[in-house]
Structure 1
């Protein structure tokens, strides 16, 4: 199937450019434009009653679709927010500790976690234990060892590391290694959801799984979600009025302690008023996938084939910097939907990214790591690296 037909709007707006930053901002399928207009129409139709309409129609459908993709078996445990940072901080607000509490994480987490954790550590609220992700082949064993040694209140790690593309294929094994039932386990799935086939069935009772639509779900910013562990009774301090939607738990004392009620399902981690436009876009994209029999496995197979095509064409260029010797993750089985090239330093990387941009090859970089992302709108013909002959 020619998947480019789904992306005519963004492709036409970017003619003459090769966009390899879909691990950051994926081109939106054309169906998202109509979805945004539908949101306007429904808002005009329902006005103040739109919240009830959204939570009776839109939200349940998305919960069902996301739960099916992740195989959680618990759609009611999906809760939405404008960004994953809001969900992360809400989860962390459940930890009631006068003394600094321990957090085990890695040196490769995205800013939503890293900045917040660093600030809390600076404040003396947490003790942050940071496990290096490299060397990758020993990461899982070293991470499990750190969890066992420190017995933390919170474990946080990514399914796919944003700065390298390395896929943690043994997520379940790491989660099962956490023997303290009171330890909160959070998996950042942003580079995994709708990119790599993911089955949370055996850990759905144990983890918070965070993700959203800005990247591989292709619906843009503003539609993030968390899968909340099945049976979770935690009471976030950082809470909003959406958390009272649905059946509520009962206050223990009228007007006293624990008088604030929470939804009995994942909505107990909900926030407050948000713009649902992005959720309309997400629904449209997921419906489009279903209508065209596109599941995550098929998407992954196609994207990985585009990576192989890119690497073959790259090898023909024999470029001194952009070559397989500089790949952060060589094994395709351990690689997400982008290629990361590790160069000598940040200045060299920035200069190369600028030269590529001057030739309308758009990518991005983090420090000394240059990243090329691939998506459904790429084809073998789209990938044209002849300009590398003019870039030293």
Structure 2
């Protein structure tokens, strides 16, 4: 089965390119083009009342889609923002800045979080414990040993590590080791829409962050977070969306918050990306596409890709350089670790000249896989190295 017919607008713009960086910038399917116009139409139709359409129709529809996608029992607990960093920092402002804040995390978290954490560490009351991801084989044991200390106000980790594709230990394996007072956040950006995920058993305990930029295929501008039910936290970083239902009431006294996920909402934003996300998820539902099918398809692509790599017998791009824990339990990109950053950059440049787009993170060269690939596409790798 091929899915390329659903991505013709993007593919026609890059007819000679094998785009192997969807984990970084995913092509948008054709259905998102009409979604751009739909936002314009709703804005024109609603005018002063466009927010009633967005909050009354569009947001609930996407919440329902995402709840099904992630097996989450409470769609109303999904809150949206333009990026995950905005949501992350809103949670962080729930902590009293005068009190000690001890954070457990890893050295494999995404750049915005790592940067924010380094900045927070300039405060005398903030302590950060970082567990090294490598060696990956021993990470689960080392992570659980740190969790068992149970002396943290915040625990933050990934579902799939962004710089390797390695899947982190399942939340259910270690969540029970923490006290109820510990706030737990999971960066699901490289898991959501890629790996079959069920949040049902942890929905009332974990803040799960993800967005549409990568595997949900709707581009930048629509990120979301799940908020545990009965959460009474009061983010200091807050905006008018966070109590949308009570806007007409006097805004005096203690600042109020919505009783659902909206308590972590911000303020005015462009919801075009949410429309695109709805279009993608509508398409998946209409055509019976689910994450398990997508994951199985990508695993088939990865297997063929590695067969081609084996045939190449390249001195640098080979299985010996593959940074992986278990390929049967892996994200949707494969990472090769070379000796130096220069090697990785030079190899990426050679591939780019042959029309193969990858991306580089230091010494690491990443190849991603998507529905708009066919297994036969990877024959193009041979042309890059003049094989045969």
**2:341, 2:363 within 8 Å by CA — same for their partners in 1?**
yes
1:290 paired residue number: 285
Question: How much does 1:229 deviate?
Answer: 1.0
Aligned 1:64-103 pairs, distance under 5 A: 64-103=64-103
2:289 aligned with 1:302, yes or no? no
* 1:375 and 2:370 aligned: yes
Residue of 327, 334, 355 corresponding to 2:350: 355
User: Secondary structure of 1:274's partner?
Assistant: coil
Deviation at residue 123 of structure 1 after TM alignment: 3.6
Correspondence for 2:382: 386
The answer for the alignment partner of 1:47 in structure 2 is 47
Pairwise CA RMSD: 1.7
Distance in structure 1 (CA, Å) of the matches to 2:83 and 2:133: 25
Describe the superposition over 1:4-55 as per-residue Cα deviations: whole angstroms up to 9, x where unpaired.
0000000000011111000011110001011001111111111110001110
Confirm whether residue 199 of structure 1 aligns to residue 194 of structure 2. Answer: no
Structure 1 CA distance, aligned partners of 2:337 and 2:257? 47
1:100 offset after TM fit, Å?
Answer: 3.8
Question: What is the CA-CA distance between 1:124 and the residue it aligns to?
Answer: 3.3
> Aligned with 2:148: secondary structure?
helix
CA–CA separation in structure 1 for the residues paired with 2:367 and 2:309:
12
Does the alignment pair 1:208 with 2:203? Answer: no
How big is the shift at 1:125? 4.8
| Residue 181 of structure 1: aligned partner | 180
CA distances 1:98-125 after superposition (whole Å, capped 9, x unpaired): 1441110000000121110111112435
Per-residue CA deviations over 1:317-364 (Å, capped at 9, x if unaligned) read: 111111111111152223100000011111111111111111111000
Q: TM-score, normalised by structure 2?
A: 0.96
State whether structure 2 residue 135 is matched by structure 1 residue 140.
no
The corresponding residue for 1:113 is 113
Residue equivalent to 2:168: 168
| 3-state SS, counterpart of residue 222 of structure 1 | coil
Report how many residues are paired: 385
- State the distance in 2 between where 1:267 and 1:228 align: 9
Change (3 A) 1:143 1:247: farther
**TM-score normalised to the size of structure 1?**
0.95
- Distance in 2 (CA, whole Å) between partners of 1:212 and 1:143 is 25
**Which residue number in structure 1 is paired with residue 330 of structure 2?**
335
Return 5+ residue gaps in structure 1 as ranges: none
Match of 1:280 in 2: 275
Equivalents in 2 of 1:31, 1:379: separation in Å?
20
Distance 1:295-1:169 versus aligned 2 partners, 3 A rule: farther
- In the TM superposition, residue 247 of structure 1 has moved relative to its aligned partner by 7.0
SS at match of 1:128: strand
SS at match of 2:121: helix
Counterpart residue number, 2:361 = 366
